[in-house]
Amino acid sequence: MTKTLDRLSTELVSSLQGEKMVSLITLDAETKLPQLSVVSWVNAKPNGTQIKIALGHKASSIENIRSNPNVLVGIIGAGSCYEVRGTATVSPIFERTMKLCIVTIEVETVENVMFYGGKVTVEPEYEKTYNPELAKKLDSEVYELFIQND
């Protein structure tokens, strides 16, 4: 039986300091069925009690969270796979190079959900396929918003 924690471990917090691919699961506002999104603009509070995610202002996850704030975040990191359950809120729209919202998730439980006897040896990697200068500019704006909205 795995131990459930009420906050992210120090190792998970370190791994969630940007450019980390995580899964965000919300309940669809209309169908009430689970909806999966993969996001990469993510930041964890140093004490492990909060995760911030940036989304485009028209992302379906935003309307889903406004309808039902209960979310799951799936994380592959720190040698394993984790389910983070929490309650999310959505910021007003920030107008930068693109219109963004910051989703703040108050961590309620963290559970290691890796199958018995398994260990993650290589974490998923991704590559941005759009203009590198634009990617750098967007990243800078998002991480600035994370700091401003702390």
Cβ neighbours, 10 Å, residue 33: 7
Q: How confident is the model at residue 2 (pLDDT cuts 50, 70, 90)?
A: low
Q: Give the pLDDT confidence score for residue 18 in this predicted structure.
A: 77
- The structure tokens listed for 108 are 């309620």
What one-character-per-residue DSSP string does 33-54 give? -EEEEEE--EEE-TTSSEEEEE
3-state helix, strand, coil in the chain (%, to 5): 20, 40, 40
- What is the pLDDT averaged over residues 117-125? 92
Is the per-residue pLDDT at 57 higher than 90?
yes
Percent of the chain with pLDDT over 70: 99
The model carries a pTM of 0.94
Q: Is residue 84 within 8 Å of 19, Cβ to Cβ?
A: no
Q: Give the pLDDT confidence score for residue 138 in this predicted structure.
A: 93
Listed residue (124, 17, 104, 103) closest to 60, CA to CA: 103
Listed residue (50, 47, 89, 82) closest to 67, CA to CA: 89
